[in-house]
Structure 1
């Protein structure tokens, strides 16, 4: 895979123009390929992800995915969105339903910026402590909250378990609701903050130590009450720079819906 140079996006108007162009391109593609072909490709791609916690993209290509979780608040969102735009890098944001209810404008900002939105449960509980009905309600309530907040076409059929606490039977339940579980290869642990012994250098190091074809990097926006620093927002420019320098490309996880993994890939 080629190394890309990232040119800065100079104005907010230019970013909006890019988003409009992307939306028009998607509509044109759907029209020219036909709705049945589009739906079949998306269905095949989604089902290829079922039955697994998907901690890596199954590909030999030098591509990685960048993801963010959010449950507390939107601290750090501005620099994250600005850096992603400057680098022309897509990301997927896994939001809790409670977050979407409290910050609907953030849901719309992420969608307008062209990024994907995923389901991270409604209240971020330990799923093992819930009944099957309780787990279904957590997924369904979060989905409703994201839709009500205005996620629109940015909403993906992807779910990420709170605390990355996965069990095969819980993955099966989520799949039955129409969601693929997307976890991560590595977490930068930036969410721990300096109080938890983390630094920007350590967050960057954790991301780059896991860099390999198909890696999924997890970061966070937001900060718990009483804290304002968001180490992942500070680490992101260095992580994206190193990804490009090392010959990798950041891809949109939504492409997995129309390009299922090839047989024999991991």
Structure 2
């Protein structure tokens, strides 16, 4: 069994805005609060038991990087969902994941958590990980440093108050996947690793945006490679009820299995 780590987009580093002391303190805080490496899924989800590490350093090894791919030669992939609008399609998604005994990570906005606390608890109870997707899903480049910090920490607070519990991870995903080295360092200083994605199915665009279930499945399949991180979405915008990713999920999981891939839980990357 090969160990896994994340392929990082290590862009040119500017001088650090924050000292390592703050980041290390944040890591220790996550561990002491039981929100980091100690996270374990419930019996509903059974991730592969292999010991998975990131350069033997866990969370700290993910800092200062835009993480879009897991470095491995094995046919494994991670399935993730973002949620900001509403809970449309969640019943179908959770049911399919449970039927396949497949783990996933859900990146929720704080606004979603405040409006749908019962759904936050359902995701956690099903054994999946919960990540931070900001509070209101703004463009981070348009915010001040204080505004960006507020977005991250307000979302963290909302997820905790909604009952995320031990399902909560120290993972952050930028709105619109708009990252920069400086913004990543800011997030790291708050104790979060940036986890982006290899490919998005684009199911969130809906049929009016030119997407179909077939196209969503095709985008996922075309992105398959050892360590791919797939991004999908829960909910629908502008009053829509159609959730293409919920419809595409069974076919995507079928395609993964047919090609010899297994779905792994991103939280195993935190195991020191």
TM-score of the aligned structures, taking structure 2 as reference length: 0.80
Question: Equivalent residue for 1:30?
Answer: none
- Pick from 139, 158, 163 the counterpart of residue 171 of structure 2: 158
- For structure 1, list consecutive stretches of 5 or more residues without a partner in the other structure: 2-17, 27-39, 260-266
Match of 1:19 among 42, 46, 50: 42
Shift of 1:41: 9.3
Aligned CA RMSD, in angstroms, stands at 2.1
Secondary structure at the aligned position of 1:75 is classed as: coil
Distance 1:173 1:62, change over 3 A: same
Instruction: Check if 1:181 corresponds to 2:214.
Output: no
Equivalent of residue 112 in structure 1, options 114, 120, 125: 125
Moved over 2 A (4+): 18-23, 40-44
More helix by share: 1
Change (3 A) 1:217 1:178: same
Q: Quick check: 1:43–1:257 contact (8 Å CA) kept in 2?
A: no
- Quote the Cα distance in structure 1 between the aligned partners of 2:44 and 2:86: 30
Aligned partner of residue 169 in structure 2, secondary structure: strand
Q: CA deviation at 1:76?
A: 0.2
1:101 counterpart residue number? 114
User: Within 2, Cα distance between the matches of 1:228 and 1:129?
Assistant: 30
The counterpart of 2:182, out of the listed 140, 146, 169, is 169
Distance 2:178 2:117 in 1: 26
Counterpart CA distance in 1 for 2:90 and 2:54 is 33
Equivalent residue for 1:241, pick from 242, 245, 254: 254
Give the CA deviation at 1:19. Answer: 2.9
Give, in whole Å, the separation in 2 of the partners of 1:240 and 1:127. 33
1:61 to partner: Cα distance:
1.5
Structure having the larger proportion of residues in strand = 2
Alignment of 1:23-38 (within 5 A): none
For 1:51 and 1:41, how far apart are their aligned partners in 2? 14
Could you state the TM-score of these two structures normalised by the residue count of structure 1?
0.82
Give 5+ residue unaligned stretches, structure 2: 2-40
2:142 to 129, 135, 142: 129
Q: Which secondary structure state, in structure 2, belongs to the residue aligned with residue 56 of structure 1?
A: strand
Q: Is the 8 A contact 1:42 1:257 kept in 2?
A: no
CA contact (8 A) 2:73 2:226 kept: yes
